[in-house]
Amino acid sequence: MRGCHVTARLVAGVRARVAQGVTLGLGACLLLAGMGRLSLPAYAQGQSSAPKIGVVDFQRVIERSIAGKQAYEQLKAIFNDKQQIIQTRQEALQKLRDELERRGPLMAAAVRREREETFQKEGRELRRLVADSRDDMRREENDTNLRLAREIMQISRGLGERLGFTIILEAKESIVYFTKAIDLTEQVTVAYDRMKEEAANKPPQKPAAPPTKSKPGQK
* Position 160 in a domain: yes
How open is the CA angle 68-69-74, to the nearest 5 degrees?
100
Query: Does residue 107 lie within any of the structural domains?
Result: yes
Phi-psi region of 21 (alpha: psi -120 to 50; beta: other; left: phi over 0): left
Say what the pTM is: 0.63
Residue 122 located in a structural domain: yes
Domains: count for the chain? 1
**Nearest-angstrom CA–CA distance, 2 and 108:** 68
Structural domain includes residue 146: yes
214 lies in some domain: no
Quote the pLDDT of residue 28. Answer: 38
In a domain, 204, yes or no: no
pLDDT score at 214: 61
Find the domain containing 178 and state its range: 5-38+49-199
> Residue 208 domain-assigned?
no
User: What is the signed CA dihedral for 44, 45, 50, 54, rounded to 10 degrees?
Assistant: -30
Q: What is the pLDDT of residue 217?
A: 60
pLDDT tens digits, 59-69: 899 999 999 99
**Residue 209 within a domain:** no
Q: Can you list the residues of the chain whose pLDDT is less than 70?
A: 1-48, 208-219
- The domain that contains 94 carries what CATH number? 3.30.910.20
